[in-house]
Structures are given as structure tokens and as C-alpha cells.
Amino acid sequence: MTTTEPGESQEAAHQGPDPAQETTSAPAPSPKPSAAVKPRPGPARPGPRPAVPAAAPVVGTAPTSDPHRFGRVDPDGTVWLITSSGERTIGSWQAGDAEAAYAHFGRRFDDLHTEVVLLETRLASGSGDARKIRSAAATLAETLPEAHVLGDVDSLAARLAAIVEHAESATQEEKAKREEHRAAQTARKEALAAEAEDIAANSTQWKAAGDRLRAILDEWKTITGLDRKVDDALWKRYSAARETFNRRRGSHFADLDRERAGARQAKESLCQRAEELCDSTEWGPTSATFRDLLTEWKAVGRAAKDVDDALWQRFKSAQDKFFSARNAATAERDAEFRANAQAKEALLAEAERIDASDLDAARAALRAIGDKWDAIGKVPRERAPELERRMRAVEKKIRDAPTGGVDPEAKARAEQFRARAEQFERQAEKAAAAGRTKDAEQARASAEQWRQWAEAAADSLSRKR
């Protein structure tokens, strides 16, 4: 006799006894037409399971029901299932005794029971999709009214109904979790899209911003589970932001290239002008021009770094050449002025020793010293007031010496003072016209001093008259 093991599909369990079971060696009454109907296809089964002997309990579950309690086998081989709603035939058994029929249809019930246990286990453990478990339980419940089994079908129906109910709750929970997960994932992408849009609109830190947009894309790829339509809309926002940023960055660097090209041309022109001035000996005006060139250089802006560095070295070389020459000339002039100061100190020492008792001789000696004094030239600016003060003191001493009448030489000295004042005034005008401001100021100061001495000499002559 062929039997159906628990691992076989439910379709086989619903087809009634094997044809080989229809005949026996002993005469049997004519079989009644089977009341079995064509079974409905059952849910997909898991892989083959270990065979469970008849009447043996399923591991981890309560023992299956006794088939004798839920069915009977007529002498003619008709097999009946007893349920709460009444009896119904489930097949015809002709291949052996009644116990064989009970065992055969009991094993079919065990198969159904195993299916139910598997669904309950998957639902309780949360290892399966609640929607699929509910669908499988509902499909299995639909086959029970026509199942060719002997066992507590009512209990299986109740358990399947409970599975459907619990699976519905689990489905709702899963749906709520999916919605919550979808909302969280959507919020993450919305935040990333908003950040990308802010970068695209406001950031000018081009490298850091570009790196951040790439990092956003990498994170974006890890976020899944969104509604397709929402995901597409958010992607369009991010993509548009990235394109906007790329256009802004490209435009910025294009403008920067144009600015650098203009700065290069302007600085090349400044270098050329500086090189034309570097050999000038007009120290004052050229120094002022170099200051103006440097101001222009700073206002131009920067060219490309390597170009800008090379142009600056070129400009600085011309500038350094001029100022080195000027400093050398200034040092030479300062040395000359110091030597002049020493010479005038020697003349002062000689003038201060003149004896005013012999007025004519004193005046002649002072005139000779005055001529030498004028011929010596300039002294350092800080020494000039002291030396002039000492010389004026000697002149005053001789001028104020007692005399019997108007001294022609004193009158000539007063005229000489006025001439010297006029000479320094002319020098001041020339220096100012040449841009030598300091020289002009010094000449004006000397002219004023000589003018005061001339006036003092004239006043002295008036008093003597």
C-alpha cells in the first residue's frame, strides 16, 4: 500500500487513496462513488520535511488528534470525516482493513497540522512576511471544507483563523514600521537635498563645497525604502543643486582667469615702467613715482601664482636697483655733509678767536672766514642751526664793537646779507620746481635767517647814525 508522507504537497493529500488501494485479494462490495471533489491548489510548501510516523507528535507541538475520534470507515470502504457541522465523505478505501484507512487519512491530517504549525512558528518568531503568512493561512483555511483527512479539522480552522487575525495585526505593525522607516529615510534625503541647495546658492568655498556634494551623493546612495515618486522628486532637487553649483563654480573660475589675465598685462606694464626708472638719478621725483607704482601694483590684483611671483621679482629687482643707488648716493652725500660740518667747526673756532679790539683787522678776518664758510657748502640738517648760531654770534660781537662813525664795511655786510637771502630764495624756488621739497624747505629757512641778519645789520647802522 502506498501512503502519503508529511513532506508531500497538499494537492497529493487531497486526491483520495491511490488506485492500487482500490483492489484487494478478497471479494469486496461494489464501491460507492467517491464524494471527494477536485481539490483546490494549496499554498506553496517549504522544502521536504522529515517523515513523521502516524500517531507520533510533531516536534515542539501537541500530539495530533486521534483519527478514530473524528471519522469512521464503513464496511464498504467509505471514509467519513466528522466535524462540528456534520459528517462528509472524504474517500473510499478498498485496499486493506479499516485501520489502514485511518492511518492513511490521519497522516494527511498530520501534513495539514504541520503546515499550520509552521505558519504559527513563522508568525510568532517574526521571521516571515506577515502578509504572506496571512495569505497562506487564508488559502489553507479555504481547503479545509474539502480536505481528505481524518483529524480535528475544526481545531485547525480555529488556529488558522487566529493566524489570519494575528497576521493582520502584524501586517499593520509592519506597515506602520515601513511607513515610519520610509518617513525617516525621506527626511534624511530631504535634509541632504536642502543642504545641497544651500551650498549651490551660497557657498564660495569651492573645494570644500565640491567635496561635501560628493559626500552627500555617497550618503544618498545608502538611503533606500522611499516611495519611488518622492525619491525621484528629491533626486531632481539634489541633481539640480549640483548642476547649479557646478555652473557657479565654472563661471567663477572663468571670471578669475579673465581677471588674472588682466592683472598679468597690467603688472607687465608696471614692470616695464619700473625698469625704465631704475637708472634715474632724480632721487626725489623718482622715489615718489616708485611709491605710486607700488600703490598701483597692490590695486591691480593677482595673476596666476607662478606668473605673479615672477612678475613681482621683476618689479622688485628694478625697484631695489634704484633705491640701492639712491641709498649709496645719500650715504656719499651724508659723508660729504659731515666733512663740511667739520670744516665749518674749524672756521668757527678760528672766528671765535678774532680780536675785536682792532676793528678793521677783525672785520677783514671775518670776511675771509665768511667767504670760506659759504664755499664749504651744506652740512647735516641737524647740525646746521647750531653752526649758524655760533657764526652769527661771532658776527654780532664784531658788529657791535665800539666805533667812531658809520662803518662802510658794516653797511656792505648788511647788503651782503640781503644778497645771500635773495640767493637762498632763488635756490628754494628751483628746488620746489624740481620736486625737491626738503631742499626747498631748507633753502627757505636759510633765506629767512639771512634776511633777519640783514635787517639786524641795517638796524645797527641806523642806531649808530
Residue with grid cell 618689479, as numbered in its chain = 315
Confidence (pLDDT) at 107: 93
Helix (H/G/I), strand (E/B), else coil: 435: coil
Rg (CA), the chain: 62
- SS3 letters across 400-433: CCCCCCCCHHHHHHHHHHHHHHHHHHHHHHHHHH
Residue 97 to residue 75: CA distance in whole angstroms? 9
Extract the C-alpha cell encoding 15. Answer: 486526491
d(CA 334, CA 127): 101
Beta carbons of 112 and 13 less than 8 angstroms apart = yes
Q: Select from 144, 150, 241 the least CA-distant residue to 199.
A: 241
Please give the angle made by the CA atoms of 199, 203 and 205, to the nearest 5 degrees.
Answer: 120
pLDDT of residue 301: 82
| 80, β-bridge pairs | 72, 89
Note the pLDDT tens digit of each residue in 337-365.
Answer: 889 888 888 888 888 888 777 778 888 88
Q: Of 407, 377, 373, 402, nearest to 390 (Cα)?
A: 373
Which ranges in 278-304 belong to alpha helices (H)? 283-300
**In this structure, is the dihedral angle defined by the CA atoms of residues 125, 130, 136 and 142, taken in order, positive or negative?**
positive
Phi-psi region of 43 (alpha: psi -120 to 50; beta: other; left: phi over 0): beta
* Residue 246: partners with Cβ closer than 8 Å, 6 or more residues away: none
- CA 348 to centroid of chain Cα atoms: 77
At residue 81, the pLDDT reads 93
pLDDT at position 152 is: 92
Q: Are 316 and 294 in contact (CB under 8 A)?
A: no
Residues 6+ apart with CB under 8 A from 192: 216, 219, 220, 223, 238
Helix (H) or strand (E) holding 80: strand 78-83
CA nearest neighbour of 270 among 298, 233, 234: 298
> Alpha helix locations (H) across 301-407?
305-352, 359-376, 384-399
Segment-wise mean pLDDT, segments of 10 residues, the chain, 465 residues:
35 37 33 35 35 34 68 90 91 85 92 93 85 91 92 93 87 82 91 94 92 94 90 94 94 87 89 88 88 89 87 90 86 86 87 80 85 86 86 83 62 80 88 87 89 79 56
Q: Are 421 and 450 in contact (CB under 8 A)?
A: yes
pLDDT at position 226 is 85
Task: Work out the burial of residue 410: count CB atoms within 10 Å of its CB; fewer than 13 is exposed, 13-18 middle, 19 or more buried.
Answer: buried
- Say which residue the cell 640767493 belongs to: 423
Closest CA to 372 of 349, 393, 401: 349
Distance CA 392, CA 399 (A): 10
Q: What are the domain boundaries of the chain?
A: 10-177, 180-258, 263-314, 354-464
The pairing of strands 71-73 and 78-83 is antiparallel
DSSP-based three-state secondary structure for 222: coil
Q: CA–CA distance from 119 to each of 41, 113, 116, 250 (Å)?
A: 17, 10, 5, 61
CA angle (273, 278, 284) in 5-degree steps:
100
Residue type, 12: A
Burial of 70 (0-12, 13-18, 19+ CB in 10 A): buried
Q: Under 8 Å CB-to-CB from 212, ≥6 apart: which residues?
A: 195, 199
pLDDT of residue 305: 85
